[in-house]
């Protein structure tokens, strides 16, 4: 209340001071105006009297002169008129003025020279007057003087009225301001503070329902947001601590983000960790006039972000956001995450030519189809290889000033196959790990690459190379053994070239299982299908980038065959495909999108009815929050990759099914099939088998669904993203100099 009183008093004083100053200026302006107006009016009157009284001044009393004087004196605000001859002897005076004549009038008459008049402000009988004397000139000779006495009390009355009215106005303003300020303070400050206090009190009491319901008032929004971040962090920490305690009681070894942080600190100690990837963990994008910092959806970011937060490390990546340059300092660095900076992101800038050759060219038209063996012919262009080398060298040079003794470097994926060797040549003491997120083909398939020796030689600059599966590790070592001069140890799964040993091991990547709050209410099956404009009792879900390796067309043909073989499921089962656009300006991807759309139209035309169609194709980017309701409600999920390193969609679906319902149809050519043995495993090229698997999934007994889903959830929970990161980091820090 004291603050409110002080605020009101301060506002009233400020308004009063401003109003008083404004009133004073107004009064001065009005006084000057009235005075000037009076002087001008009296001068005009004197001019008129000069002409009419001149011939009548003769020194003897004149009735006509007296009559003129009395008539003019009867005018408004004229107190009286006196006429003197050239000897300053009174000739005529208006009635009632004689007894009021001031004693100092002679001095005014004596100072009168020439034809100009003279006026003074004085008091006559305590009455304010304006006395104006003007000589009367007759035939260029002074015949006498006319003196006009004007009452000026009206000016003071007018000025007093202005002060009085403004004083009342100031009082009214003060009252209105006090009331309005009191209401605004109560509604906009005291009220929100009370709500915020109640919210914090409820959080302190552990009421989860109020966790994120903070007041969104204008001036308090930044504070609320920061407090919300703190509360979220504390809540997550509390949840993780409770989870850790539960796991200790149960003797469980599940990895969490908090456990990973502790592990990182123990393993790295004071050593520096640098992560290198093409995609950045945080990007700045312009949204109208505002610049927002967003985190792209990525399992890689989910895994590595806690590591770098724990060790205050460095992440080096290509700056792709349209406002990225505005956020960095002179060294192209920015601390992230923005709400609570804990590590440094260093951005590398690529020209359009470099990005076209390095990323879209060799990486995605060459290495991607080469490694996936999805019957799309790889394209190898010398200019792409040149850009690829240039960009890898650019990243290597950017690390020169960052690498210290004992620095650990974790490189991501096929975009940087030659980077390990470039770094090792410049910094032999650095410990380098490379994780290959896509499959590794057999030696014969990889042998068509024109720069296979250079790529393998570059990769073997790493101390540790990780793949998703042991099968990919075997393929890699066989490729190295056949292509380069090296010594391969199949017992330790390592290879030595030019005196440097590289360990090759499988590290199956996963998802953040613990980060999914169980039982979150959301849209149900009926709500989702209604929004899609389809009436169906059952539906399946597929979530993929629009990539020719994902088996999307084969999946649609399996749905078609299923409906042909089981017509009773028409108007009953719908398949929903979420397809995120990807690399569409590459011809093969552009053609693939056209192929997908053509198949959707063909199959829907074949089966659809008025309010039902077999396939709903949603071509746009979906957030995890948007996809989650589809995962939770779908009767089945189809992951039918023609060849894939892991395919995290399968694990995302499993992690979402806390109801332990639903079925997963999974390609044997996806790395996830090595772990999720309770899925319905299929050959995506066998349309008949996939069609039969759809029927099996839809008609599966509830108890079998629960048993299969429970087993798969146990696998995903145990082998989560944090365990993946911890195992790679443990293996890297165990490596000694070689």
| CATH number of the domain encompassing residue 400 | 3.40.50.2000
Tell me, what's the pLDDT at 56? 74
Q: Is the dihedral of CA 438, 617, 575, 520 positive or negative?
A: positive
Contacts of 436 (CB under 8 A, 6+ apart): 413, 414, 465, 466, 467, 472, 476, 645
Residues 613 and 496 in one domain: no
Which strands form 487-489's sheet, in the order they lie side by side? 333-336, 343-348, 314-318, 273-277, 408-412, 431-435, 464-467, 500-506, 494-497, 487-489
Mean pLDDT over the full length of the chain:
85
pLDDT of 673 reads: 95
Does 239 reside within a domain? no
Rounded to whole angstroms, the Cα distance separating 30 from 69 reads 31
Q: Does position 520 have pLDDT exceeding 50, yes or no?
A: no
Please tell me the least confidently modeled range out of 443-447, 511-515, 516-520: 516-520
Q: What is the mean pLDDT of residues 12-39?
A: 84
Closest CA to 722 of 410, 301, 407, 340: 301
CA distances from 191 to 183, 186, 196, 203, 215 (A): 10, 6, 9, 18, 10
- 487 shares its domain with 532: no
- Between CA 80 and CA 96 the distance in angstroms is 8
The answer to whether position 162 is within a domain reads no
Residue 212 pLDDT greater than 50, yes or no: no
Residue 505 sits in the same domain as residue 562: no
Please name which of 101, 57, 97, 99 lies closest in space to residue 73, comparing C-alpha atoms.
Answer: 97
Q: Is residue 225 part of a domain?
A: no
Give the residue from 500, 532, 716 showing the smallest Cα distance to 634. Answer: 532
DSSP one-letter string for 642-659: SSBS--HHHHHHHHH-TT
Q: Band of the pLDDT at 209, cuts 50, 70, 90?
A: very low
Annotate 57-81 with b (16+ C-beta within 10 A) or e (fewer).
Answer: beeeebeebbebbeebbeeeebbbb
Contact call for residues 449 and 380 (beta carbons, < 8 A): yes
Tokens of 74: 């009867």
In this structure, are 664 and 530 located in the same domain?
Answer: yes
User: In the structure, what pLDDT confidence band is assigned to residue 239 with cuts at 50, 70 and 90?
Assistant: low
Question: Which of the listed residues 123, 157, 191 is the one where a domain comes to its end?
Answer: 157
Residue 460 resides in a domain: yes
Any domain includes 229: no
Q: What is the tens place of the pLDDT at every residue in 154-202?
A: 888 888 888 888 888 888 887 888 788 777 777 767 777 777 677 666 6
Q: Per-residue confidence at 218, pLDDT binned at 50, 70, 90?
A: low
The position carrying tokens 């991501």 is: 412
Closest Cα partner for 83 from 63, 99, 95, 65? 65
DSSP-H helix ranges across 140-288: 153-184, 191-204, 221-250, 257-268
Q: Answer whether 495's CB lies under 8 Å from 733's CB.
A: no
Q: How far apart are CA 73 and CA 64, in angstroms?
A: 14
Segment 265-274, tens digit of pLDDT: 888 888 899 9
Can you give the pLDDT at residue 259? 84
Question: Predicted confidence band at 565 (pLDDT cuts at 50, 70, 90)?
Answer: very high
Higher-confidence residue: 97 or 161? 161
- The residue with tokens 């960095």 is 328
State yes or no: pLDDT of 17 exceeds 70.
yes
Instruction: Judge if 564 and 495 occupy the same domain.
Output: no
pLDDT at 553 over 90: yes
Q: Which domain holds residue 125?
A: 35-157
- The CA distance from 543 to 376, in Å, is 21
Q: Is the same domain home to 556 and 501?
A: no
Most confident of 202-206, 293-297, 729-733: 729-733
> Do residues 707 and 605 both lie within one domain?
yes
In a domain, 222, yes or no: no
363 and 408 assigned to the same domain: yes
Is residue 124 classed as helix, strand or coil in its secondary structure?
strand
Of 690, 696, 553, 658, the C-alpha closest to 615 is: 553
Interatomic CA distance for residues 132 and 477, integer angstroms: 120
Which pair of structure tokens corresponds to residue 516? Answer: 């999914």
Query: 299 with 263: CB under 8 angstroms?
Result: no
Do 469 and 587 fall into the same domain? no
The first and second tokens of residue 620, run together, are 């746009």
Do both 616 and 685 map to the same domain? yes
Helix (H, G, I), strand (E, B) or coil at 34: helix
Residue 461 lies in a domain: yes
The tokens 């009792």 sit on which residue? 537
CB 735 within 8 A of CB 465: no
* Same domain membership, residue 710 and residue 598: yes
Highest-confidence segment of 255-269, 311-325, 513-527: 311-325
pLDDT one-digit tens code per residue, 634-690: 999 999 999 998 999 999 999 999 999 999 999 999 999 999 999 999 999 999 999
For β-strands 78-85 and 141-151, DSSP reports them as: antiparallel
pLDDT higher than 60, residue 216: no
pLDDT digits (tens, 9 = 90+) for 376-401: 899 999 999 999 999 999 999 999 99
Q: How far apart are the first and last CA of the chain?
A: 72
DSSP class of 644 = B
Residues 396 and 450 in one domain: yes
Quick one: pLDDT at residue 290?
A: 86
Tokens of 50: 């000069």
Q: In angstroms, rounded to a whole number, what is the distance separating the alpha carbons of residues 391 and 397?
A: 10
> What is d(CA 350, CA 202) in angstroms, rounded to the nearest whole number?
50
For the chain, what is the domain count? 3
Which residue would you say has higher pLDDT here, 721 or 696?
696
The answer to whether the beta carbons of residues 336 and 345 sit under 8 Å apart is yes
Cross-strand partners of 124: 127
d(CA 176, CA 377): 79
Last residue of a domain, which of 157, 178, 196? 157
Kindly state whether residue 9 falls inside one of the protein's structural domains: no
In DSSP terms, 122 is beta-bridged to 129
Burial of 1 (0-12, 13-18, 19+ CB in 10 A): exposed
Determine the Cα–Cα distance for residues 738 and 726; give it in Å rounded to an integer: 23
């Amino acid at each position: 209340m004291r603050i409110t009183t002080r605020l009101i008093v301060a506002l009233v004083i400020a308004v009063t001071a401003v109003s008083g100053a404004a009133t004073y200026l107004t009064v001065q302006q009005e006084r000057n105006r009235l005075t000037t107006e009076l002087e001008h009016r009296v001068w005009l009157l004197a001019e008129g009297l000069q002409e009419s009284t001149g011939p009548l001044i003769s020194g003897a009393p004149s009735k006509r002169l007296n009559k003129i004087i009395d008539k003019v004196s009867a005018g408004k605000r004229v107190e009286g008129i006196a006429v003197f001859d050239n000897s300053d002897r009174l000739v005529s005076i208006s009635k009632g003025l004689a007894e009021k004549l001031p004693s100092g009038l002679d001095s005014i008459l004596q100072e009168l020279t020439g034809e100009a008049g003279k006026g003074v402000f004085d008091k006559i009988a305590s009455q304010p007057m304006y006395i104006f004397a003007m000589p009367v000139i007759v035939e260029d000779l002074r015949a006498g003087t006319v003196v006009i006495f004007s009452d000026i009390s009206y000016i003071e009355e007018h000025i007093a009225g202005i002060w009085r009215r403004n004083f009342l106005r100031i009082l009214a303003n003060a009252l209105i301001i006090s009331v309005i300020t009191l209401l605004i303070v109560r509604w906009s400050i005291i009220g929100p503070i009370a709500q915020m206090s109640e919210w914090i009190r409820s959080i302190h009491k552990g009421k989860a329902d109020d966790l994120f319901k903070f007041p969104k008032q204008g001036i308090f929004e930044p504070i609320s947001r920061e407090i919300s971040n703190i509360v979220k962090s504390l809540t997550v920490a509390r949840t993780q601590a409770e989870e850790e305690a539960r796991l200790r009681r149960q003797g469980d070894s599940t990895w969490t983000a908090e456990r990973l942080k502790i592990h990182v600190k123990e393993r790295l100690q004071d050593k520096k960790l640098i992560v290198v990837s093409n995609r950045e963990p945080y990007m700045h994008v312009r949204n109208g006039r505002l610049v927002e910092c967003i985190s792209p959806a990525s399992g890689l970011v989910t895994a590595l972000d806690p590591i770098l937060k724990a060790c205050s490390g460095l992440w080096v990546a290509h700056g792709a956001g349209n406002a990225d340059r505005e956020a960095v300092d002179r060294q192209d660095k920015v601390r992230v995450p923005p709400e609570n900076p804990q590590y440094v992101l260093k951005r590398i800038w690529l020209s359009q030519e470099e990005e076209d050759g390095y990323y879209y060219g060799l990486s995605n038209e060459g290495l991607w189809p080469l490694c996936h063996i999805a019957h799309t012919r790889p394209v190898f262009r010398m200019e792409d290889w040149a850009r690829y080398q240039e960009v890898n060298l650019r990243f290597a040079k950017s690390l020169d000033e960052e690498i210290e003794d004992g620095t650990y470097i974790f490189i991501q994926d096929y975009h940087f196959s030659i980077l390990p060797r470039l770094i090792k040549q410049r910094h032999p003491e650095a410990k380098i790990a490379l994780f290959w997120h896509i499959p590794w083909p057999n030696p014969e398939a990889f042998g068509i690459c024109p720069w296979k020796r250079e790529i393998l030689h570059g990769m073997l600059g790493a101390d540790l190379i990780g793949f998703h599966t042991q099968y990919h590790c075997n393929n890699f070592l066989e490729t190295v053994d056949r292509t380069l001069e090296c010594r391969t140890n199949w017992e330790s799964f390592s290879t030595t070239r030019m005196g440097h040993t590289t360990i090759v091991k499988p590290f199956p990547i996963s998802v953040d299982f613990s980060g999914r709050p169980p039982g979150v209410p959301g849209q149900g099956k009926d709500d989702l299908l209604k929004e899609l404009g389809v009436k169906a009792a059952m539906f399946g879900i597929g979530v993929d980038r629009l990539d020719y390796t994902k088996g999307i067309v084969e999946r649609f043909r399996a749905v078609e065959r299923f409906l042909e073989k089981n017509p009773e499921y028409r108007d009953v089962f719908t398949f929903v495909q979420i397809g995120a656009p990807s690399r569409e300006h590459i011809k093969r991807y552009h053609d693939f999108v056209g192929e997908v759309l053509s198949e959707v139209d063909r199959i829907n035309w074949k089966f659809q009815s008025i309010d039902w169609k077999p396939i709903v194709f949603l071509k746009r980017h979906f957030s995890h929050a948007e996809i989650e309701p589809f995962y939770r409600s779908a009767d089945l999920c189809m992951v039918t990759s023609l060849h894939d390193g892991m395919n995290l969609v399968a694990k995302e679906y499993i992690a979402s099914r806390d109801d332990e319902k639903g079925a997963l149809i999974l390609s044997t050519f996806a790395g996830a099939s090595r772990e999720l043995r309770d899925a319905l495993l299929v050959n995506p090229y066998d349309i008949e088998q996939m069609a039969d698997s759809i029927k099996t999934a839809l008609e599966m007994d509830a108890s079998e669904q629960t048993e299969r889903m429970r087993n798969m959830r146990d696998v995903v929970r145990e082998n989560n993203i944090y365990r993946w990161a911890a195992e790679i980091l443990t293996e890297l820090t165990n490596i000694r100099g070689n």
